[in-house]
Amino acid sequence: MTTKMREEINEIPAAAARLLDTSASIIAHCAKGLREKDPSVVVTIARGSSDHAAFFLKYAIELQLGLPVASLGPSLASIYERPMKLGNAAAFAVSQSGASPDIVAMAKGARDGGATTISLVNTLPSPLADAATHAIDIMAGPEIAVAATKSFVNSIVAGLAIIAAWTEDKDLEGAVASLPDHLDKALALDWSPLLQPLSTADSLYMLGRGPALAIAAEAALKCKETCELHAEAYSSAEVLHGPVSIVGRDFPVVAFAARDKAEASIVQTVSKLSAGNAACYITSGLGEGGHRLPFVATGHPITDALALIVPYYGFIESLSRARGFNPDKPVALKKVTETQ
C-alpha cells in the first residue's frame, strides 16, 4: 500500500516547480519591499516543521546578507502580550495552515512593532496571510499526511527565492531555479542501509552545521512523529561538548553534510565518533569515518543542504512502516495544531 506520506514526498519536485513557475511576480514584489526596508535584523515566527524551515532560512539570510536572524517566541504576543520594537526589522512567519493563534498574534505584533512581515503559508486566505505585509502562497498543494514534507520543502524554496531576488544573487537564483530537477534526482536515492540500525534503535543523534543543522532538526522531528523513535539534533561541534558521552558502540548517528565550508568539520566529528561506533552514517565522500549515504550535489552550498531532506523523507516513511506504525496518522498528533 502506498501511503499518503509517500505520495506527498513524491510530489516534492512538482510542488517546487509549481511555486517557482507561478510566484515570480509576488516574490519580486516582496524582495523589492525588503530592499526598500533595508532591515538591520530579521526575526522568524514559527513552530514545528515550519520552525525548522525558518531555522534553515535563518542560516541562508545570515550567509547571504550578513544580517542577524533571531527566532521570536510566539508566547511573547499570545500569552505575555509584550509589544516588540521592530521598526528596523523584517519578519518571516512560516505556517502550513496559517491558523495557529499564537503564530498569528506574534506576526500581528511584529507588524504593529514596525517590521516588514512576510508570511509563507500553504493556505490562502488565512489569518496569518492577513497579518502580513506580504503573503506568499507556497503552492505545495493539499497535504493530507500529518507529518509535513512537501510543505516544509516549499516553505524553504519560497524563502530562498525571496532571498535570491532580495540580494539579486544570480548564483542563488540559478540554484533555486534548478531545484525541481535536483529534488527529483534526490527522490531516487537509496538510504535503506539505515533501516536495520534504526529499526531496533531506542535513540539516535542527527548532526549538521549551518543550513544542514536545520535539516538535522527536521529529521529528528520526523523520527519522533512517525516512528516514536527518540532523536536529537546537534551541531557536529556541540555534540562533542557533553552529548557524546552517551554515544556507545551501536548508538546511531546520522550526519547531514552539504558541499559547503562546514563539510570538513562534520566529517571530522563523524570520524571521531565512528572510531568506537559502527552505526555512524554521513552524506559526504570525504574522510575515513562513517558509512556513506548518497546525496545530490546541486552546485550551491545552500540548496545542497535542502536536497538532503528528500531521500531522508523517503527513508523515514519506510522506517515508520518497518516499526509497525502508520506514517500518515501518528497516534498522538493531528494535522493542524492551534496553540495559544
CA atoms within 13 A on the CB side of 77: 22
pLDDT value at residue 333: 62
Dihedral angle of Cα 156, 157, 158, 160, to the nearest 10 degrees: 80
Q: Is residue 208 predicted with pLDDT exceeding 70? A: yes
pLDDT value at residue 337: 65
pLDDT, tens only, 166-206: 999 999 999 999 999 999 999 999 999 999 999 999 999 99
pTM of the model: 0.96
Q: Is residue 338 predicted with pLDDT exceeding 70? A: no
Q: What integer is the mean pLDDT of 27-43?
A: 98
Compute the distance between CA of residue 105 and CA of residue 111 in angstroms, rounded to an integer: 10
Q: What integer is the mean pLDDT of 297-314?
A: 98
pLDDT value at residue 270: 94
Residue whose grid cell is 492551534: 338
Q: Is residue 108 predicted with pLDDT exceeding 90? A: yes
Q: Is residue 50 predicted with pLDDT exceeding 60? A: yes
Look up residue 33 and give its three cell numbers.
519591499
Residue type, 108: K
Q: Is residue 246 predicted with pLDDT exceeding 90? A: no
Q: What integer is the mean pLDDT of 295-314?
A: 98
pLDDT value at residue 275: 87
pLDDT value at residue 287: 83
Please name which of 122, 117, 121, 120 lies closest in space to residue 106, comparing C-alpha atoms: 117
Q: How confident is the model at residue 336 (pLDDT cuts 50, 70, 90)?
A: low
Least confident stretch, 8-17, 51-60, 69-78, 242-251: 242-251
pLDDT value at residue 330: 79
Q: Do residues 144 and 328 make contact, with C-beta atoms less than 8 angstroms apart?
A: yes
The mean pLDDT value of the chain amounts to 95
pLDDT value at residue 334: 62
More confident residue, 262 or 249: 262
The DSSP-derived string for 26-63 is HHHHHHHHHHHH--SEEEEE--HHHHHHHHHHHHHHHH
